[in-house]
Amino acid sequence: MKVMAQIAMVMNLDKCIGCHTCSVTCKQAWTNREGTEYMWFNNVETRPGVGYPRRWEDQVENKGGWVHKANGKLVPRQGGRLKGLANIFANPNLPEMSDYYEPWTYEYEKLLSAPKDSSALPVARPKSQMTGEHINAPEWGPNWDDDLGGSLETMQDDPVIAASGAEVKAQIENAFMFYLPRICEHCLNPTCVSVCPSGAMYKRSEDGIVLVDEDKCRGWRMCVSGCPYKKVYFNHTTGKAEKCTLCYPRLEIGEPTVCSETCVGRLRYLGVLLYDADRVGEAAATERDEDLYEAQRQILLDPRDPEVIEGALAEGVPRSYIEAAQESPIYKLIHEYQVALPLHPEYRTLPMVWYVPPLSPIVDEVTASGNDGEDGKILLTAISRMRIPLEYLASLLAGGNLAVTEKTLRRLAAMRSYMRDIHLGGEGNEEIAAAVGMTGEEIEAMYRLLAIAKYEDRYVIPNAHPEIERSLDDFRCSLDGTGGVGMGGPGFSGNKVMVELLPRRPGGTSV
């Protein structure tokens, strides 16, 4: 048993209001530079919808993640090392720029410089930030499906609907929607790291954060196609790959990520998990997609187990990390309460950003039928008939495992019903808790964490340690602005050169 630490995140989808504050603050902190205009390390998608980039979940086309072979081995879906080397100068498995969107600005200077006595009304035409050329009206963007805005045109293209076989009604009075915030999953078995020819992608041993070494990156973009979540981007100005860093400079001083800090709904949780690194390959190679959730959950170790503590110390895990793992809200939500699920475990990357599925529409549905939407017995029996199809959530968050998804939703429904009794002056019905395999005390503890947790309960983050040595060079920023180290250095000719290096599909646009 090799014990290692991983900083992970859980998001409670029942509390996301789709305000995009997390996306905007992340954009301002990390991708507010030339060459990163189209990058959104954090984005919030409306479901059902095709996401960003468009149809990122369609791995038949995108070739992301791992494939389980008949002999039990895992290989990257885009192919092994030989195939990767054969395509190194012309990677065919990349999203087109139209799948993201061509970022634009407006010619504001035309408004400012227009003569006062002009008879014509000045116009600020849209202008591409990629090529500098004028563009027509935008036809796609990172939030095209926002609040089902594009649902009638795009809903039928949602890969999760196709994979789950769920019936989704397009009529607005029968439709459902929920928000899905997404960042890099900082996986335990990341494909992006495995397929990188230059070794620039790496996973930090002390906390599991996946990063890009900008000095080693050669812009091959294998990581972009290898990531099934499409959360690695290519900077067309620097010729380097970039991705979410989980705000590691903030984590190292005990502060949460920017997206967590500014989240209006307080739906994000950060904490440390201890896991058995020797079993990562075994878990990822689990034969059936439906069993991957449980396989991943089983490699997470009990941070209070004396044997685990001894193993962690032997592997150099700081004691503060162990103590943080013992108080981790992530471990409680995933392992103790079992209400958090991984995003698309069937990609076999063992993602470390998990989600508490949404439940809200079921209460409205039950109430509309003339019944008490908060009654425990009625609520638990109505789970399978909830407005959001159970098959859809299972295909999105549990590898298609309906039983695991229903169990999670039943626990959330039981919490709602149990706490309603208490808030109305009752003592809490233990039968409701027992019906989902929990006690009333556990239900109340889960409620405190999910509904009313304080700042220090949601973010349990250990500080970085001096024994993890870093030189001053490790703290320099290689993305320090135009002309700096990360922007090509002195004499770099700018983004137009890099645009020409972007691959093109037959009849398609550049990436």
Contact 46, 146 (CB under 8 A): yes
- Would you identify the CATH topology of the domain 265-458? Alpha-Beta Plaits (3.30.70)
Least confident of 58-67, 326-335, 456-465: 456-465
What pLDDT, in 10s, does the model give residues 134-185?
Answer: 888 778 888 888 888 877 778 888 899 888 877 776 665 567 889 999 999 9
The two beta strands, 43-47 and 178-182, are: antiparallel
Contacts of 258 (CB under 8 A, 6+ apart): 22, 25, 26, 29, 30, 247, 250
pLDDT of res. 366: 63
Q: Report d(CA 120, CA 123) in Å as an integer.
A: 9
Whole-number Cα distances in Å, 54 to 51, 126, 499? 5, 22, 21
Assess whether the region 17-104+141-253+469-501 and the region 265-458 belong to the same CATH fold. Answer: yes
CATH 3.30.70.20 at 17-104+141-253+469-501, yes or no = yes
How high is the pLDDT of residue 374? Answer: 61
Scanning the structure block, which residue is given the tokens 């993602």? 351
**What are the boundaries of each domain within the chain?**
17-104+141-253+469-501, 265-458
pTM for the full predicted model? 0.87
pLDDT band at 84 (very low <50, low <70, confident <90, very high): confident
- Bridge partners (DSSP) of residue 44 are 181
What per-residue confidence (pLDDT) applies to 496? 34
Is 464 strand, coil or helix? Answer: coil
Sequence letter at residue 416: R
31 near 40, Cβ under 8 Å? Answer: yes
pLDDT in tens, 466-504: 555 554 444 444 445 444 444 444 433 333 333 333 443
Q: How much is the mean pLDDT over the chain? A: 85
- What is the DSSP code (8-state) at residue 288? S
Residue bearing the bigger pLDDT, 261 or 469 = 261
Tens digits of residue pLDDT in 382-426:
676 677 888 999 999 999 999 999 999 999 989 988 998 899 888
Residue 77 DSSP label:
T
36, 233 contact by CB (below 8 A): yes
**Are 379 and 406 in contact, with CB atoms under 8 Å apart?**
no
Could you tell me if 269 and 3 are in contact, meaning their C-beta atoms sit under 8 angstroms apart? no
Q: Which of 244, 243, 311, 255 is nearest to 278 (CA)?
A: 311
